[in-house]
Amino acid sequence: MMQTTDTPRVGPEIEKSHDTPVWVQSGPEALLGILTAPAGPRRCLTAVLVFPRVEKNGLHVALARSLGNAGFNVFRYDMRGSGESTGTEPELNFGRLHTDDVMAVVAELRRRGMDRVVLIGKCFGARTVLAAAGQLAGLKGVALISTNLLPPGMGTYDRNYFLPNPGMLVGLFDGRRRHAVLRALWAWARSTGRRMRWPFPGLHPVLLMHVRNAIRARVPLLFLYGTDDRFYVKFSRAMRGPLGKLLERGGDRAQVQVLEGGVYDPTTLAVQQRIVACLRSWVEHVMPADSED
């Protein structure tokens, strides 16, 4: 099931699609998004891009333009607490995925007549759309780019990168830093406990539940990694456990594609073009047969 692919490169494209800013209300927060609509014939499928707060290589923009030029509607938005969206998020925490934002975005798109939706998320965004997939009926597909497999409740660091240190203990005496230090120590203690209860190569039961829910709902899944991604090693090992068995149950609807290089942080334009081409091909594959306008 898992194989290394060399997807053909995308040639230079003229930006034919139209970008329109759209505000989406999600509870008390207002999310700013960009709706990319094709200038030519449209296909009745809309891709929602959920990417991290900082996408320095502009992959989400390149992907939106490519899908727009192919006839798809695309909506990308600033996650809460980032960009022009309201809210405050001091850290990315896998226990607070804000799936309600994804559901609010999908509800707004469906209100505008865009009923057929695929979700595409990267890293933290991938975990968010995977969790939302079990709560949204009628999804046409979910693509997960360089998914981080950290347990819920942890931030963006695992214990290989985040350990208590003397500076943290000194920070306990600083009233301005005490709350942040205590939160950091508590996150580390909880993550260590979780890793002891669910040892490698297993995954946290909540993460497995999210995958299982998507498989049961018969939602097409794509896991996309690069050979140089630091998360890819953990994913490969997890595939030898319950995760691999779950994806086998999904049959052709559960795909794993691995590209040469780094997908999480593309280092060259050629790599980014291969990522865009791979995702565009997958969207066209999952598109319903009667989706032409």
Give me the DSSP letters along 213-260. Answer: HHHHTT--EEEEEETT-HHHHHHHHHTTTHHHHHHHHHGGGEEEEEES
Contact 170/180 with Cβ under 8 angstroms? no
| Residue 225 backbone phi and psi in degrees, to 5 | -135, 165
Nearest to 148, CA basis, from 84, 191, 105: 191
CA angle 89, 94, 129 (to 5 degrees): 95
β-pair type (46-50, 73-77)? parallel
User: What's residue 94's pLDDT?
Assistant: 74
Higher pLDDT, 170 or 157: 170
Locate the domains of the chain by residue range: 2-151+202-286, 157-197
| CATH code of domain 2-151+202-286 | 3.40.50.1820
Residue 278 burial (CB < 10 Å; 0-12/13-18/19+)? buried
CA distance 168 to 95: 23
Nearest to 128, CA basis, from 84, 82, 70, 189: 82
CA distance 35 to 76: 7
Q: What is the pLDDT of residues 184-235, one digit of tens each?
A: 667 666 655 544 444 444 577 888 999 999 999 999 999 999 999 988 988 9
Q: Which pair of tokens denotes residue 42? A: 């449209």
Q: Which pair of tokens denotes residue 160? A: 């290989």
Report the DSSP beta bridge partners of residue 225: 258
Residue recorded with tokens 């003397």: 166
Give the start-end residues of each E strand in 98-191: 117-122, 141-145
Q: Average pLDDT over the chain, rounded to whole?
A: 81
Go through the chain and tell me how many residues it has: 293
Higher pLDDT, 286 or 201: 286
Instruction: Please state, for a pLDDT cut of 90, what percent of the chain lies above it.
Output: 51
DSSP, res 43? B
Whether the ω angle into residue 201 lies within 30 degrees of 0, i.e. cis, is yes
CA distance 52 to 87: 15
CA distance 248 to 241: 11
Mean pLDDT, to the nearest integer, of 13-40?
Answer: 84
Q: Which pair of tokens denotes residue 104? A: 């609010």
Element containing residue 126 per DSSP (H, E): helix 124-133
Q: Which of the given ranges, 40-44, 59-63, 285-289, has the highest pLDDT on average?
A: 59-63
pTM of structure: 0.79
Residue 88 burial (CB < 10 Å; 0-12/13-18/19+)? exposed
Q: Which pLDDT band holds residue 17 (cuts at 50, 70, 90)?
A: low
Contact 143/281 with Cβ under 8 angstroms? no
Q: In this structure, which amino acid lies at residue 145?
A: I
Mean pLDDT, to the nearest integer, of 49-76?
Answer: 88
Contact 109/77 with Cβ under 8 angstroms? no
Element containing residue 181 per DSSP (H, E): helix 178-197
